[in-house]
Amino acid sequence: MHYREVRDTMGTMAVPAEAYYGAQTQRAVENFAFSGLRLPGTFIHSLAMIKKGAAVVNGRLGLLEASPAAAIRRACDEVMAGTFDDQFVVDVFQTGSGTSTHMNMNEVLACRANELLTGEKRDRSPVHPNDHVNLGQSSNDVIPSALHVSAWRQVDDRLLPALEMLGRSLSEKGREFAGLRKVGRTHLQDAVPMTLGDEFSAHARQVELGVQRVRAVFPRLAELALGGTAVGTGINSHPRFAAGVIDLLNRWTGLAFVRAGNSFEAVACRDAVVEASAAVRTVAVSLTKIANDVRWLASGPRCGIGEIEIPALQPGSSIMPGKVNPVIPEAVLQATVQVAANDAAVAQAGMSGNFELNVMMPLMAYNLLQSIALTAAAAEHLAAKCIAGIRANAAVCTGNVDKSLALATLLVPRLGYERAAEVARKAHRAGKTIGQVLAEEGLMREEELKKLF
């Protein structure tokens, strides 16, 4: 395909020379082509699904003739299949309502529908992007609806299965290591004994709770602004339009969208998106804890903690032979930092609603959808390429327990806190174990020590 380049101070962005989009999109490209970032396919395809529903419902209501309605539906199907992904060329950083992307969609669908009807690319006749494709709609209700639909679909299709996969992997390791004693750690210092299985069970529970947190957002994401049009009054939209489109969306996605309880709130506010982003960010925080714990426990292998071994995926160093780095945990940590940054941007954007409209919706869409995708990918890779291949170093785990000074905690009921602390200090100064000091001082018999420890 031939391309022309739109240049500015930030660089270049390639767009198709023979485009399906029209003049409004072209102006948007020329005005906003300064980052090269575009809204992801999941958003574009969800927007096309809404447009398909609109064409079906407007046809049923007698507002759109059968022939153009059918052509628009077919064009929508092609967009949803990814056929025209290269035609959605508007920068993320555009008008805050997302009108530029919305008109990009309207124009692509109109042009393709006209091509289907006439054999020629026509941008306005017989199907018009505003009069027909956009019938009963506004950017102000369609763009937030597309954001809710795409976010819920991506969570349902990618994030939840990835988290469930990770949770299963961690639970399996918890059961596998259930009988292996090791030293617990608090404040990066030795603490009382536990099992390696206990440690992995905590991580599994983190993921389980993360799933619950994400699912808890669904009732708010379910509310769609469709039918509110410009400010929530529903001007120029048929009273049965929104319910009809939402019914079709539910049929096509298997989800449970509803019309917003208050159309004015649904058009003006993006609180549900802020909430969803925060839930995903909380999951990312959990993944950070898990990834950090894994790389610490695997540190060494001889001069670190070394209680577990992780899979060696690639040479760890360009200069040190035999070095194994925790590449997957480190990749996960970088992804979670990005998710946290995205969430901060979404929160700031959520504050940018004035009166009847939020004016940072494209930014919110880009960041939330990227966060969902990153978190899902991080969970999948952590489960499949790291957790599943972890092996325990039993000798190190049990050896650390035997020499731990924190075993003195078990003496408190028998000897009291002060006496137990003195035993720990003596053991530390002499380089001996707690058991050795107790035996030397005749404080406990050997069989008592074995039973206690």
CATH number of residue 49's parent domain: 1.10.275.10
| 276-287 pLDDT tens trace | 999 999 999 999
How confident is the model at residue 248, as a pLDDT? Answer: 98
| 184-229 pLDDT tens trace | 999 999 999 999 999 999 999 999 999 999 999 999 999 999 999 9
Q: Residue 37, Cβ neighbours under 10 Å: how many? A: 14
- Section 95-114 average pLDDT: 97
Same domain, residue pair 333 and 221: yes
Query: What's CA 121's distance to the chain center, in Å?
Result: 38
Same domain, residue pair 339 and 429: no
How confident is the model at residue 13, as a pLDDT? Answer: 39
Same domain, residue pair 17 and 108: yes
Q: Which residues are catalytic?
A: 187, 317
Using a cut of 0.85, tell me whether the model's pTM lies above it. Answer: yes
How confident is the model at residue 80, as a pLDDT? Answer: 98
| 244-268 pLDDT tens trace | 999 999 999 999 999 999 999 999 9
| 4-33 pLDDT tens trace | 333 333 333 344 557 899 999 999 999 987
pLDDT of 446 strictly over 50: yes
* Number of domains present in the structure of the chain: 3
How confident is the model at residue 11, as a pLDDT? Answer: 35
Least confident of 39-53, 306-320, 339-353: 306-320
Same domain, residue pair 46 and 185: no
Same domain, residue pair 305 and 409: no
| 355-412 pLDDT tens trace | 999 999 999 999 999 999 999 999 999 999 999 999 999 999 999 998 999 899 989 9
Same domain, residue pair 335 and 412: no
List Cα–Cα distances, 399 to 302, 305, 371, 423, in angstroms.
13, 11, 41, 19
Residue 440: band (very low, low, confident or very high) from pLDDT cuts 50, 70, 90: confident
How confident is the model at residue 12, as a pLDDT? Answer: 38
| 106-149 pLDDT tens trace | 999 999 999 999 999 998 999 999 999 999 999 999 999 999 99
Distance between CA atoms of 181 and 204, rounded to whole angstroms?
18
Q: Are 370 and 384 in contact (CB under 8 A)?
A: no
| 66-91 pLDDT tens trace | 999 999 999 999 999 999 999 999 99
Same domain, residue pair 252 and 119: no
Distance between CA atoms of 7 and 34, rounded to whole angstroms?
8
Same domain, residue pair 349 and 441: no
Residue 335: domain span? 141-395
How confident is the model at residue 16, as a pLDDT? Answer: 53
Mean pLDDT of the residues in the chain: 93
Q: Are 129 and 107 in contact (CB under 8 A)?
A: yes
Same domain, residue pair 258 and 357: yes
Domain boundary among 395, 415, 442: 395
Same domain, residue pair 156 and 269: yes
Same domain, residue pair 293 and 268: yes
| 291-303 pLDDT tens trace | 999 999 999 988 9
Domain boundary among 103, 135, 167: 135
Same domain, residue pair 343 and 438: no
